[in-house]
Homo-oligomer: A and B are copies of this chain.
Amino acid sequence: MSTDNQRPLILVSNDDGYKAKGINCLIDVLAEFGDVVVMAPHTGRSGKGCAITSEQPIMYSCVSSTQGVKIYSCTGTPADCVKLAFHALLTRKPDLVVGGINHGDNSAVNAHYSGTMGVVFEGCMKGIPSVAFSLCDHDPDADFTPTLPIIRRIVGEVLKRGLPKGCCLNVNFPEKAPYKGVSVCHQANGVWTGEFEAHDHPRGGKWYWLTGEFVTQDKDSAADRVALANGYVAITPTRIDLTDYDLLREMKNWDL
C-alpha cells in the first residue's frame, strides 16, 4: 500500500479493450488521484465474467507510458489482465482496482456474466478495494461526461474509507443524464428471454447468435435495475462469498 510520500497506485482494466472510449475517460479521472497502471484486453472481451485462460498462454505489451499513466495491452480475459498485472507489472500492492467504464449495463444478475465485474472480483480476491463502473449505453462513442463527477466522488470515498474484506462495488449509470441521484442498491432479479437468433448454416444445420431481452422481475426501487430505470445511479455492494447461509442452516435437516 502507499506510504506517505507515495501517490496512490490504481490498477485499471475493462472488457471492451484498452482502446475503448470508456476506459480512456476513466484513466483521465483516476490520474487525478494517483499513479495509474492499465492492463486491459487488446480487443473486446464482453461477457467473459470471471473466465481465466488455462488452455493457452497469454502475452502483454506496453502501449504507452507517460508520467503517472502506463498502459498495457493483454491477450487474455479481464480476470487474466488483473492476475498478470499483479504477477508481472506491479512493484507494490495497488490501493484500488477499477473496472470500466463499461459500454453497457452490468446490473442485476448480469453481474455474473460481466467481464468488468471479472476485473473487480479478481481485485477483491486479492484483497484490494475494487470498483466497477458501467454506463447503460453500448454505443462505442457514448457520452461518459455525466458519469465523471460521480466516479470522482466514489473513488475519493473508497480511497479514504477502503472497503470491507471480500466486498467490492458494482456501479451502473443510467443511459440518460441528468441523473436523479445516487442509490445504494441490491442486485435485481430478472431473466433473459428470446436468447438466440437462429440462422441456416451454409453447410447445413443452424448457427445461433446470442441476443435476447432482459426482463426485470423486481419492483423494489432499491433493486439496481429498477433504480436505473428510474434515473438513479445504482451502486450495488457486492461480495465474493457466494455462500447461501440461510440454506446452509436449513440443510442441516437433510438426509445426507
Residues of B within 8 A of A153 (CB): 255-256
List which A157-174 residues lie within 8 A (CB) of chain B.
157, 161, 163-164, 166-167, 170
Number of identical monomers bound together in the oligomeric complex: 2
Contacts of A51 in B (CB 8 A): 47-49, 51, 77, 113
Interface size on A, residues (CB 8 A): 82
Say whether, besides A83-B196, A191-B127, A247-B164, A256 and B184 are in contact (CB < 8 Å). yes
State which of B113, B189, B208 has its C-beta within 8 Å of the C-beta of A50. B113
Query: Which residues A178-237 have CB closer than 8 A to chain B?
Result: 182, 184-187, 189, 191-192, 195-196, 198-199, 201, 205-210, 235-237
Select which of B59, B235, B254 is within 8 A of A251 by beta carbon. Answer: B235
What's the Cα separation between A250 and B161 when bound, in Å? Answer: 11
* Chain B residues positioned under 8 Å from A49 (CB to CB): 48-52, 118
| Inter-subunit contact B247/A237 (CB<8 Å) | yes
Cβ of A55 within 8 Å of any chain B Cβ, yes or no, is yes
Does A13 lie at the interface of the complex (its beta carbon under 8 Å from any beta carbon of B)? no
- Is B186 a contact partner of A245 (Cβ separation < 8 A)? yes
Contacting pair A210 B126 (CB below 8 A): no
Shortest Cβ gap from A135 to chain B (Å): 17
